């Protein structure tokens, strides 16, 4: 796409624009979110960035992750310091609405706490739909064991479609981890394991370790197997693995309305840090 207003040209970014996106995100005072390399590598296919340019110079951009379509995530926004932020965003969003509707996107969400961006998004019809709350714990004390009959083991590559299916059954669309997103998170510092019961995969966890810090990225149990101690078994195994790796502090986050998950984490000694991130969402008007 390419559109020209009275002053700006709006166009979709390609992979050759990655440096301009990262530079503006790092240098602009009005910047929010982040652009991971797995997202930038998907520009033009599963992710899109719209650039606002004046005389071929990029003065603003917004990055959308389309891998969770029909829900899309607004991952990053930046506006150059010399620009009028509200005007730049208005031009970008008008183009983005048409572009996203054409991609079949039904809703857009933003997770973050940049005050300037929250204010602008609310002016354009975004409303708070949820809140992400952060928990952490120090590695000490006894760990509940969970379901004794569940075997936790490393996931195999051929099992990833099944893991994605469990994920989709457990979370609303804006929280989904489709296979490309799941695989983008798999690094030497991450651990993907499954819970197996009666030779059937009934849940999974994804966690990461950086030095003495650990993070539980994902924990999910198939709906028909929930409330049977399987999540406890997965979490207990994850914490035990962190303990062997000499992790001192473990963090995780969940949604404010996910009371079952909060109860589980608190039973394992996790406590809220007080850090919260609002989740803003806007339903898209159907194309045409």
pLDDT band at residue 3, thresholds of 50, 70 and 90? low
pLDDT at 104: 92
Give residue 202's pLDDT: 97
Closest of 131, 133, 129, 147 to residue 221, by C-alpha: 147
Q: Tokens representing 255?
A: 């949604």
* Domain span holding position 203: 134-277
Q: Please write the tens of the pLDDT for every residue from 200-229.
A: 999 999 999 999 999 999 999 999 999 999
The per-residue pLDDT for 206 is: 98
Dump pLDDT digits (tens) for 103-131.
999 999 999 999 999 999 999 999 999 99
Give the separation between CA 48 and CA 61, rounded to whole angstroms: 10
**Total of domains in the chain:** 2
Q: In this structure, is residue 286 part of a structural domain?
A: no
d(CA 227, CA 61): 44
Q: Residue 38: inside a domain, yes or no?
A: yes
Is residue 102 located within the same domain as residue 185? Answer: no
Of residues 143 and 114, more confidently modeled:
114
Are residues 44 and 14 in contact, defined by beta-carbon separation less than 8 angstroms? yes
Which pLDDT score, from 0 to 100, does residue 46 have?
87
Q: Is the model's pLDDT at 287 over the cut of 80?
A: no
Cis peptide before 70 (omega within 30 of 0): yes
| Contact (CB, 8 A) for 150 and 229 | yes
Pairwise CA distance, residues 205 & 221, whole Å? 9
Q: Which of 84, 106, 125 is the last residue of a domain?
A: 125
In a domain, 254, yes or no: yes
* Dist. CA 100–CA 50, nearest whole Å: 11
Average pLDDT, integer, range 38-66 = 90
Kindly state whether residue 76 falls inside one of the protein's structural domains: yes
So what's the pLDDT on residue 264?
96
Assess whether 194 and 228 both reside in one domain.
yes
268, 136 Cβ separation under 8 angstroms: no
Segment (H or E) for 90:
helix 85-102
CATH of the domain at 73: 3.40.630.30
What are the start-end ranges of the H helices in the chain? 18-27, 37-40, 85-102, 115-123, 160-170, 179-185, 230-244, 259-267
pLDDT of residue 35: 83
Are residues 120 and 138 both part of a single domain?
Answer: no
Q: Is 139 inside a domain boundary?
A: yes
Q: The whole model's pTM is what?
A: 0.89
Specify if 175 maps to a domain: yes
> Does residue 273 share a domain with residue 138?
yes
Nearest-angstrom CA–CA distance, 109 and 261? 22
Q: Do residue 49 and residue 179 come from a single domain?
A: no
Whether 288 shows a pLDDT value over 60: the answer reads no
pLDDT band (50, 70, 90) for residue 6? low
The predicted-structure confidence for 238-254, as pLDDT tens digits, reads as follows: 999 999 999 999 999 99
Please give the average per-residue pLDDT across 83-92, as a whole number.
94
In the predicted structure, residue 2 carries a pLDDT above the cut 80: no
Per-residue pLDDT at 5 exceeds 60: no
64, two tokens: 């959308």
Instruction: Write down the pLDDT at residue 128.
Output: 97
Mean pLDDT of the 171-198 span: 93
The first and second tokens of residue 217, run together, are: 């990225």
Q: Can you state the percent helix, strand and coil of the chain, rounding each to 5?
A: 35, 35, 30
- Contact between 230 and 219 (Cβ < 8 Å): no
Cα–Cα nearest to 233, from 153, 167, 168: 153
Residue 248 dihedral angles phi and psi, to the nearest 5°: -100, -35
pLDDT value, residue 15: 87
Q: Does 81 share its domain with 121? A: yes
Q: Is the pLDDT of residue 4 over 60?
A: no
Q: What are 91-101's pLDDT values in tens digits?
A: 999 999 999 99
């Amino acid at each position: 796409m390419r559109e020209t207003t009275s002053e700006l040209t709006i166009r979709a970014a390609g992979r050759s624009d990655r440096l301009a996106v990262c530079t503006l995100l790092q240098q602009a005072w009005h910047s929010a979110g982040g652009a991971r390399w797995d997202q930038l590598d998907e520009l033009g296919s599963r992710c899109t960035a719209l650039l606002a340019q004046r005389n071929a110079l990029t003065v603003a951009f917004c990055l959308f992750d389309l891998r969770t379509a029909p829900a899309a995530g607004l991952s990053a926004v930046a506006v150059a310091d010399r620009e009028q932020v509200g005007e730049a965003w208005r031009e970008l969003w008008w183009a983005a609405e048409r572009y996203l509707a054409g991609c079949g996107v039904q809703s857009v969400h933003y997770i973050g706490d940049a005050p300037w961006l929250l204010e602008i998004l609310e002016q354009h019809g975004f409303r708070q739909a949820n809140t992400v709350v952060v928990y952490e714990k120090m590695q000490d004390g006894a760990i509940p064991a969970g379901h004794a009959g569940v075997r936790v083991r490393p996931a195999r590559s051929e099992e990833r479609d099944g893991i994605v299916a469990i994920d989709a059954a457990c979370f609303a669309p804006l929280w989904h981890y489709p296979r490309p997103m799941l695989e983008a998170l798999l690094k030497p510092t991450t651990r993907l394991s499954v819970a197996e019961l009666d030779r059937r995969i009934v849940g999974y966890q994804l966690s990461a370790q950086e030095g003495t810090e650990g993070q539980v990225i994902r924990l999910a149990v198939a709906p028909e197997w929930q409330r049977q101690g399987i999540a406890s078994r997965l979490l207990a195994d994850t914490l035990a693995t962190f303990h062997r790796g000499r992790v001192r502090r473990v963090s995780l986050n969940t949604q404010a309305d996910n009371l079952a998950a909060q109860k589980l984490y608190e039973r394992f000694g996790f406590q809220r840090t007080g850090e919260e991130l609002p989740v803003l969402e806007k339903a898209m008007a159907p194309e045409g």
